[in-house]
A and B are shown apart, each in its own frame.
Chain A
Amino acid sequence: MDAKLTEVAQLFERFKAASIRNDFDSAANLLSQLKVLLTEFKSLPPLFEESPNAIQELTIARDIYEHAVVLSVKTEDQDAFERDFFQLKPYYTDTGSRLPPSPQEYPILGLNLLRLLVQNRIAEFHTELELLSSSALENPCIKHAVELEQSFMEGAYNRVLSARRTVPHETYVYFMDLLAKTVRDEIAGCSEKAYDYLSINNARQMLMFSTDKELYEYISEDHPEWEVKNGSVFFQKVKESAPSKEIPSLQLINQTLSYARELERIV
């Protein structure tokens, strides 16, 4: 093992220790030092040069980025997550023939799917999904994210919420909490269209608040148009009024004129 590799390995140990201690500042510091050191290895993507230590270098680099992703979840930094994930991705896609698969691969891929779901980047979610083999789709971590997306699309929100209890990996909790907020907004949006009114009790349960006070705060902040009276929440005001009976004459004139113009062109 040459000197550089040893140095990286030592630094990596210190980084891991710091991240386990939840000492995020020093962990982030060590991580940026590590990333700089990694740039000196020619065997890493995108160069993939053959070198005697290639396998060890690739393995340690992959480990470092995996830990970086986990660290970014712990520090709740979504941008850092995205960056680190993209740096990690080539190790999963392009080194398959040289390295044994990492045990962290599926949890991290699942985590990324979850992130895309939380950020409502559904198109990218599906693009990522296409890259996974059918055996990968069976993996509990991936399956969890896929089922979440389905429930979300269908509108089975309580299934989304109950999924929080069955997270396959402890790092998932952060994104699940974010998802819960999104779900609450979705439920509120659906409720105001679907119900005429809801009793305070039901509304509180449905929107997952533990006290009435929280509910009132939420209503006054996000939905001031809702009306609270007689122990119920009324959504009536939001509903559109009946379509007016008058003829949209201006629009009709415009359309008819354009037909005439087009017809003239044909004849």
Chain B
Amino acid sequence: MTQDVEMKEVAAPSNSTSSAVPSTLQHLKEIAALIETGAYAREVRRVVRAVRLTITLRRKLKASVVSAFLGYALAAGSEAHARLVSYLPREDEHDMEVDTASSVTQPPVKHSLPELEIYCYLLVLIFLIDQKKFSEAKACSSTSIARLRTLNRRTVDVLASRLYFYYSYSYEMTGDLAEIRGNLLALHRIATLRHDELGQETLLNLLLRNYLHYNLYDQAEKLRSKAPRFEAHSNQQFCRYLFYLGKIRTIQLEYTDAKESLLQAARKAPAAARGFRVQCNKWAIIVRLLLGEIPERTVFMQKGMKKALVPYFELTNAVRVGDLELFRVVAEKFASTFSSDGTHNLIVRLRHNVIRTGLRNISISYSRISLADVAQKLRLDSENPVADAESIVAKAIRDGAIDATIDHANGWMVSKETGDVYSTNEPQFAFNSRIAFCLNMHNEAVRALRFPPNSHKKEKESAEKRRERQQQEQELAKHIAEEDDDEF
């Protein structure tokens, strides 16, 4: 099978090259051939490959090339052809003539495969989005989605999932995301009925994105918890899912789980997807602060993220010192950044942690301190700072943040002697939890080794195939990077 593809790929250019360097159009024709073989052999993998190759061509697309390709791939009089051509801008008259002339020499494809038709939609859509013609893109994507509903072929699923993505993207760019929510839900239902897992995955993420765009965390969580889950097919969709999950959990105060999801999302995202990773890191930093942890300095010094994370670095600093005044200044200074990141409300929640850290510092430094001094050191500005300080200290003691008692008659906070921690069972517990973590990590790694995400392909990997796969992975990484640059 593989040899077959290789041969086709080699053969295709030699058949038709008129110039030494294969033009973009030539590449597109090769991709079309790939899709055709994929469709006939019912091999989803080839279609996946075709989509990836298209993304690499993305920057080279021109109106003339696209319309020439449409002429090649679709029957001239067909409805789809007429409709798609109408989306393309009319320009470069000269160029077009040349290209159409060359395409005439090609034997025209008589039968039009649904895969090819959908692919043409995808190509035109990508082109329109790259040209920032979002209203045309909206129209084009809507018709393509309408067409997709009538198709039920596994080989279309891959193309369909890309189309869904761009469909939602073009609506997002024009700010009409709410309009398509019903459609997305219907598509998700169809995908579920057809066992199109890739489609389900993509659509679920798009829906989550759609809800979160409008801060509808409640609906997002309800959908997420009820939607069917299965092993992830696409790494990038899984990353997104984790990120959205992390966001939902943060809002719902499940910080420990949120931290896990966000850190995993940041780790799993390919190195090239910088915008996405920055976003994950921002949220992860806040969640860790809310948990009472202080993120290490290296988190903020990651390559290419330093600048974006500066506000969060200063924020962390304020929390670490436990200085309410500094915290307020930082929150005000970067207010616009925080509100555009959608983290403003979380930062309001952090105030409580700042007080706690400040209190812990005081409790460590002083064995006995008057509540008035505590209030002053924490810079509590209220009508009755001493009474405030007293109840705040009392709550901190109950929550176990500090080990102290209050002497109400004298208005003192008395810190208890910190006993020798090694005389308790504490070190043993800490040791145990670390060992458990390491063992768990090892087991997870072993499990991941045994069941790679593509385990349904049972063929053994030949050297040639491995090369192909590595190439594909590289393409994938690049592809995610581009996509995420678009998004953030």
Contacts and interface: CB of A to CB of B under 8 A. Distances in A.
Contact of A155 (B251, B396, B428, B439): B396
Nearest to B442: A266
Contacts of A255: 432
Contact of B394 (A194, A196, A266): A194
Interface in A221-255: 243, 245, 248, 252, 255
A56 interface: no
Contact of B398 (A129, A158, A193): A193
A126 B252 contact: yes
B382 A159 contact: yes
Contacts of A129: 345
Contacts of A259: 435, 439
A150 B387 contact: no
Contacts of B217: 127, 130
Contacts of B406: 194-195
A123 B215 contact: no
A218 to B, nearest CB: 18
A189 interface: yes
Interface in A22-61: none
B351 interface: yes
A194 B402 CA distance: 10
A194 B398 contact: yes
Contact of B355 (A123, A131, A154, A199): A154
Q: Which of A130, A146, A150, A155 has the largest number of chain B CB atoms within 10 A?
A: A155
Given A127-B252, A196-B405, A190 B351 contact: no
Nearest to B425: A248
Contacts of A191: 394
A131 B391 contact: no
B397 A190 contact: yes
A187 B408 contact: no
Given A146-B348, A154-B352, A243 B253 contact: no
Interface in A161-189: 162, 186-187, 189
Nearest to A252: B428
Given A155-B392, A198-B408, A262 B252 contact: no
B351 A150 contact: yes
Interface residues of A, number: 40
Interface residues of B, number: 45
A17 interface: no
A257 interface: no
A24 B351 CA distance: 43
Nearest to B342: A130
A162 B425 CA distance: 44
Nearest to A134: B339
Given A189-B398, A195-B406, A195-B408, A154 B392 contact: yes
A158 B442 contact: no
A157 interface: yes
B97 interface: no
Contacts of A154: 351-352, 355, 392, 395
Contacts of B216: 131
Nearest to B409: A199
Q: Which of B218, B395, B423 has the largest number of chain A CB atoms within 10 A?
A: B395
Interface in B213-270: 215-218, 251-254
A67 B423 CA distance: 63
B348 A150 contact: yes
Contact of B405 (A158, A195, A248): A195
Contacts of B432: 255
Contacts of A3: none
A123 B345 contact: no
B407 to A, nearest CB: 8
A158 B408 contact: no
Contacts of B383: 162
A190 B251 contact: no
A99 interface: no
Nearest to A123: B252
B427 to A, nearest CB: 13
A124 B222 CA distance: 13
B391 A157 contact: yes
B116 interface: no
A122 B216 CA distance: 16
Contacts of A150: 348, 351-352
A202 interface: yes
Contacts of B382: 156, 159
Contact of A194 (B344, B355, B393, B435): B393
A1 interface: no
Contact of B253 (A123, A146, A159): A123
Contact of B391 (A124, A127, A190, A199): A190
Interface in B368-398: 380, 382-384, 387-388, 391-398
18 contacts: A123-B253, A123-B254, A127-B251, A127-B252, A130-B215, A131-B216, A150-B352, A153-B352, A158-B384, A158-B388, A158-B391, A190-B394, A190-B397, A193-B397, A194-B404, A195-B406, A248-B425, A255-B432
Interface of B: 215-218, 251-254, 339, 344-345, 348-349, 351-352, 355, 380, 382-384, 387-388, 391-398, 404-409, 423-425, 428, 432, 435, 439, 442-443
